[in-house]
Amino acid sequence: MSIKRFILSAFVFAFLLQSGLPAGPGKGHLMIFGGEQKYDYTMLKFLELAGGKDAKIVIIPSASEDPLNEALYLRHHLETLGATNVKYVLVNNEPADTSTVLAMMDKTDGVFFTGGDQVRLTGKLLNTRLLDKVRAVYAAGGVVGGTSAGAAVMSEIMITGNELRNPDTTAPFNAIRLNNIEVKQGFGFVTKAIIDQHFVKRRREHRLMTLVLQHPKLLGVGIDERTAIIVRPDDTFQVLGEHTVVIFDARQAVKISTDKNDNLSGQNLRMHILKSGDCFDLNSGTVCK
């Protein structure tokens, strides 16, 4: 990390602690993976955004049932790609705000949230100084990445994976129905969209369409496996990887309503399917160059 970035990071974090407020929009990049990614050019891009192979990367594996092995697994693969300074913090068995944990975040250039259970991850990190330090890394120009559960936490409205009204676990997400998709508070790095992952592979279109009809001011961004989006500081993103990203846009939808069975309906719901290399503007809802 450059001296300038480190000074800015320290200033931002000090302000957060003094004000007690969450960080505002960051100046760095997000790299959000849909899951099952290969450790190839996509992860090399993450290292590049962090500042290169000597950048300090901190892995936060708190979503995993086995966080230590998850962290060691990811660290090994990053090191095979040339990374020389990969650390990890374990907060599953101790509070996130211990001095030891917080010190691990000093001079960090990139943070990566692993997969697992997003509710477990937010339960450990929401409203902690550790998460404030992650926000400070982002605000100072660093990169924050995550895969699977680590992708779901990126938006303010976080999909938990649970249904509230469908009791049939053998046929999940089989309707576009009001108040069926459970959501909780995410980390809010993405404020203009709801993020979903493993999207095409696991046929999750119903749950994302449900949520954009219930929250029409937000886009739905479904990222498939072995695919990522790189969100730039101007809220445009580029697709990178083997498969596609699906966008649902209900911001101009009309006649959003329900029937007697609470099935949701709406007209003029827009959809985009983006491949690797495509660019999308979260502000305008249009494909960009």
Could you write out the DSSP letters of every residue in 196-247? EESTTTTT-HHHHHHHHHHSTTSEEEEEPTTEEEEE-TTSEEEEEESS-EEE
pLDDT tens sequence across 146-177: 999 999 999 999 999 999 999 888 888 999 99
pLDDT at 94: 65
Does 224 score more than 90 pLDDT? yes
pLDDT tens sequence across 234-252: 999 999 999 999 999 999 9
What's the structural domain count of the chain?
1
Q: Which of 125-139, 160-174, 200-214 bottoms out in mean pLDDT, i.e. has the lowest?
A: 160-174
pLDDT tens sequence across 7-58: 434 443 343 334 333 444 568 999 999 999 888 899 999 999 999 999 999 9
d(CA 217, CA 226): 28
By percentage, how much of the chain surpasses pLDDT 70? 90
Looking at residues 76-99, what average pLDDT do you find?
90
Does 191 score more than 80 pLDDT? yes
- CATH code, 245: 3.40.50.880
pLDDT at 257: 97
Give the closest residue to 176 by CA, choosing from 85, 283, 241, 250.
Answer: 250
Mean pLDDT of the chain: 90
Structural domain boundaries, residue 158 = 3-288
Q: Which residues pair with 86 in a beta bridge?
A: 57
pLDDT tens sequence across 116-126: 999 999 999 99
Looking at residues 218-229, what average pLDDT do you find?
98
Q: Which residues contact 151 (CB under 8 A, 6 or more apart)?
A: 32, 33, 34, 35, 195, 197, 223
Give this prediction's pTM.
0.89
pLDDT at 167: 87
> Phi-psi region for residue 278, left (φ > 0), alpha (ψ -120 to 50) or beta?
beta
By percentage, how much of the chain surpasses pLDDT 90? 82
pLDDT at 37: 84
pLDDT at 14: 42
d(CA 124, CA 236): 30
